[in-house]
């Protein structure tokens, strides 16, 4: 049995991924990207790590914890700036506007995070347990896989029954592939020697 990518214990859940390498290029015409497929990557995640991840993703407040803390800090800073403006700075509007902007930014950020957390929770709760665990294991796998190789960004397409059912247009949208790369990925995923 392969070892868990996160804790190195035996990993019961096997995963296979197709690596995608994306190179963002900035030139006079703006930003464009060059993309290529990498190879297949095999990994495993243990049930314990998958369950931990699943519990995390089922809690809308915890699932974006770091980002939530960031927005909460921005929110508190906004309030502090407003208090300072009205006490020490005698209501100078520039600072008041800055404080108000920070408060709005904090609230909108938190709202958006919690909304996406709730959506993820609904999505996972509607799945059979085995599938939800697989999804959580996939999150653990992606979090522990390299996201960069020199200048290229690395991303991963899960090779599972859901992906095998998708058309190349779906792959293109889901995994942000260029049209030609989506076709190539489709062919590679459906190779018989897989």
Please report, as ranges, the residues that interact with Zn ion according to CB under 5 A.
Answer: 4, 6-7, 46, 49
Residue 191 has a CB neighbour count (10 Å cut-off) of 8
CA distances from 123 to 15, 58, 108, 118, 128 (A): 20, 9, 22, 9, 11
Q: d(Cα 71, Cα 54) in Å, to the nearest integer?
A: 24
Which CB, 49 or 102, lies closer to Zn ion?
49
Instruction: Supply the Cα-derived Rg of the chain in whole angstroms.
Output: 22
Q: Minimum CB separation from Zn ion for residue 156, in Å?
A: 18
Q: Minimum CB separation from Zn ion for residue 7, in Å?
A: 3
Which CB, 6 or 64, lies closer to Zn ion?
6
Q: Minimum CB separation from Zn ion for residue 13, in Å?
A: 9
Q: Minimum CB separation from Zn ion for residue 138, in Å?
A: 14
Which CB, 138 or 175, lies closer to Zn ion?
138
Which CB, 8 or 90, lies closer to Zn ion?
8
How would you label 150-170 residue by residue, b for 16+ Cβ within 10 Å and e otherwise? eebebbbbbbeeebeebebee
């Amino acid at each position: 049995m392969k070892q868990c990518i996160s804790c190195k214990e035996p990993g019961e859940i096997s995963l296979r991924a197709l690596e995608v390498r994306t190179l963002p290029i900035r030139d006079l015409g703006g930003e464009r990207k060059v993309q290529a497929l990498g190879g297949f990557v095999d990994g495993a995640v243990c049930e314990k790590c998958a369950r931990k991840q699943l519990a995390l993703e089922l809690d809308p407040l915890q699932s974006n914890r770091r980002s939530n803390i960031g927005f909460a800090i921005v929110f508190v800073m906004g309030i502090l700036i407003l208090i300072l403006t009205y006490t020490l700075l005698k209501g100078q509007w520039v600072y008041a506007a800055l404080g108000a902007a920070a408060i709005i930014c904090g609230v909108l950020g938190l709202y958006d995070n919690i909304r996406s957390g709730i959506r993820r929770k609904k999505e996972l709760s509607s799945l059979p347990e085995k599938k939800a665990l697989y999804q959580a294991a996939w999150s653990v796998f992606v979090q522990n896989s390299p996201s960069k190789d020199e200048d290229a960004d690395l991303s991963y397409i899960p090779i599972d029954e859901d992906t095998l059912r998708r058309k190349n247009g779906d792959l293109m949208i889901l995994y942000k592939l260029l049209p030609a790369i989506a076709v190539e990925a489709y062919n590679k995923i459906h190779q018989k020697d897989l």
